[in-house]
Amino acid sequence: MTDTTTAPPVATGPTVPPPQRPKRRLGDVIFSRLSSGSGFLILIILAAVAAFLLVQAFPALVSSPEVLKTKGYGEFWSWVLPFAFGTVWSSLWALILAVPVSIGIALFITHYAPRRLARTLGYIIDLLAAVPSVVFGLWGTMTLAPATQPVYQWLNTYLGFIPLFGGEASGTGRTLLTAAIVLAVMILPIITSLCREVFLQTPRLHEEAALALGATRWETIKLAVLPYGRAGTVAAVMLGLGRALGETMAVAMVLSGNQVINFRLLTSDNPNTVAAMIAQNFPEASGIRINELIAAGLVLFVITLIINSIARLIISRYSEFSGAN
Amino acid sequence: MSKRIEVKDLNVYYGKFKAVEDATMVIEPRAVTAFIGPSGCGKSTFLRTLNRMHEVIPGAYVEGKVLLDGADLYGADVDPVLVRRQVGMVFQRPNPFPTMSIGDNVIAGMRLNNKRLGKAEADAIIESSLRGANLWEEVKNRLDKPGSSLSGGQQQRLCIARAIAMQPDVLLMDEPCSALDPISTLAIEDLIQQLKESYTIVIVTHNMQQAARVSDTTAFFNIAGTGSPGRLIEVGPTEKIFSTPDDQATEDYITGRFG
Ligand SMILES: Nc1ncnc2c1ncn2[C@@H]1O[C@H](COP(=O)(O)OP(=O)(O)OP(=O)(O)O)[C@@H](O)[C@H]1O
Ligand SMILES: [Mg+2]
């Protein structure tokens, strides 16, 4: 095959017909233009956002600490670090809470629940995704925080020797853990519905292979469903994480965040997140402060980028065994 | 190791639809029994009732008895999971676990039985099973490569190795060669001849020559028309079925005068 295409053209005279150009159909042309156009559009938008962030953040990044101390929020990196920490820390706990539950619900829907219950659950999950984040924020401050406060108090009293639960328990319940729970509830629908789609894709053939070896239902899931869906599950978790990292409204309402690095989950001295901090400070900011806030946004952007790259790395390490070949 | 199967008055259903009606037969140990018949007559369905794989389909159930050396597979206190560990199955399309290495594929079933399989023990089982499936020489240097990196015929033999690693009493094969080329098909047929020394083997095939070549007993299934259940028409020694069958429908089918 390769030989015929790479062989130099031999002068065999008029017996060789001129190569025919494949006929181009209008529908194909329109479709290919449209789809490649959309592809470019996404790149352009991303480039525009990145350019905006870089250009606007630049003055804050190059200003001397003295200038920032008098006109801004202070030296940039030490100022932004607590917020970056708060972002990652709260999102991490949101993931720890949400991922097992999401995978559990997705497995229940795809492999355990009777069909009608599965469909109802699916609708409810999708409905949850449609609730605006302000509503989650209100629910978090007004219902969840007071309701969980006694639990926090209990954890603090009896398990306070574990550093995570140490310190002085918050009297309002508006703690980092509350924020993480709210975030977990918010990212649950997206992780669940993506995982459900992924688990449904498991080839019947592989599940039957496991069953025929005498696997129980859970063993079938471990042998066939979860490994086959590994890449998809990681992608689902990453989308959820992306949402948690960038969530502004709910965190701003639940957390009375400060500029601290505090690993304790139950105190009232909580690190704020980058997104919530920007939203809270932007209305009053002017001059170099605006640049600083935008630079903080750039930091958030970079954090997300790094985490996504790590996820890609994890997926590609297993790609040989992904079942795609 | 090898056990005798007796099927008595078996009806097989998919919900309300009766797919196989009133099947009664004996499957002898240390022999190959072939199921032949037109498409849709219920061969696969019947085969899958022999290791209770039928019931994993929602709404599917059976009536009647299947006895494995006298013990009813459908007894009230019988765990289908344990039945499937005794009665192995090879499918029409090769289905090694794509996320596992060749070696791990072979012992996937063993791992379920015996979680604490030692390394030396695992290696021994991998080698003996792969040798049993005539695959050892081809893969011994790449046991850690994914199962899906093999050719179709090799994958099918890997699936056979995975099934015999469990040391089952019976091996069921549903058209194991239909996705393979003639050379791989011959390799599998040779393998079946070796395996029947130690296992009861049941094979579904659409290939008359294959049934004639590999089997000792042949069972012919037929269907009266769409929507009606499949029936076991005739079962007997393979030479007899292919030379002087009792039933006219059997003769029509094997001589190609069918339908
Ligand atoms: N999962 C299922 N749900 C409902 N009906 C089914 C299912 N699988 C098979 N059937 C029906 O049961 C009947 C027997 O099917 P089966 O697959 O056993 O036939 P077969 O003899 O193996 O055919 P082939 O030679 O084409 O593989 C067919 O009418 C088929 O439509
Ligand atoms: Mg079939």
DSSP A138-177: HHIIIIIHHHHHHHHHHHHHHHTTSGGG-SPPPSS--SHH
Predicted confidence at residue A17, as pLDDT, reads 66
**Atom 25, ligand 1: residue with shortest CA distance:** B39
Do the domain assignments include residue B259?
no
CA dist B131 and B205 (Å) reads: 25
Stretch A160-178: mean pLDDT? 90
A116–B contact, CB cutoff 8 A: no
Choose the mutation target among B53, B97, B158 for the interface with A, i.e. most A CBs under 10 Å. Answer: B97
pTM: 0.84
Domain boundaries A77-320, corresponding CATH code: 1.10.3720.10
Do the domain assignments include residue B157?
no
- A247 to chain B, minimum CA–CA distance in Å? 35
Say whether B146 and A212 touch across the interface (CB within 8 A).
Answer: no
Say whether B51 and A208 touch across the interface (CB within 8 A).
Answer: no
- Closest ligand 1 atom to Cα of B47: 18
Give pLDDT tens digits for A27-40. Answer: 899 999 999 999 99
Q: Per-residue confidence at A16, pLDDT binned at 50, 70, 90? A: low
Closest by Cβ to B99, choosing from A212, A219, A321:
A321
Count of domains observed in chain B: 1
Predicted confidence at residue A49, as pLDDT, reads 93
pLDDT tens track, chain B, 259 positions: 689 999 999 999 999 999 999 999 999 999 999 999 999 999 999 999 999 999 999 899 999 999 999 999 999 999 999 999 999 999 999 999 988 999 999 999 988 877 778 889 999 999 999 998 989 999 999 999 998 889 999 999 999 999 999 999 999 999 999 888 888 899 889 999 999 999 999 999 999 999 999 999 999 999 988 889 999 999 999 999 999 999 999 999 988 875 4
Do the domain assignments include residue B31?
yes
Q: Identify the burial level of B17 via C-beta atoms within 10 angstroms of its C-beta, where 0-12 means exposed, 13-18 middle and 19 or more buried.
A: exposed
Predicted confidence at residue A15, as pLDDT, reads 62
Do the domain assignments include residue B137?
no
**Amino acid type, A263:** F
Q: B36 alpha carbon to ligand 2 midpoint, in Å?
A: 10
Q: Which of B11, B14, B222 to mutate to test the pocket of ligand 1 (most atoms within 8 A of CB)?
A: B14
Say whether A228 and B148 touch across the interface (CB within 8 A).
Answer: no
A28–B contact, CB cutoff 8 A: no
Residue ranges in chain A assigned as alpha helix (H): 2-6, 26-62, 65-71, 76-107, 115-129, 133-139, 145-159, 176-200, 204-212, 217-220, 226-228, 230-246, 249-254, 274-281, 288-317
Q: What is the CATH number of the domain that holds B213?
A: 3.40.50.300
Domain extents in chain A: 77-320
Do the domain assignments include residue B233?
yes
- Residues of chain A with pLDDT > 70: what percent? 93
B129 ligand 1 Cβ < 6 A: no
A216–B contact, CB cutoff 8 A: yes
Q: Per-residue confidence at A19, pLDDT binned at 50, 70, 90? A: low
Q: Can you give the residue range of the structural domain that contains B13?
A: 5-96+168-254
Residue A221 pLDDT > 90, yes or no? Answer: yes
Stretch A103-116: mean pLDDT? 94
Closest by Cβ to B56, choosing from A211, A322, A325:
A211
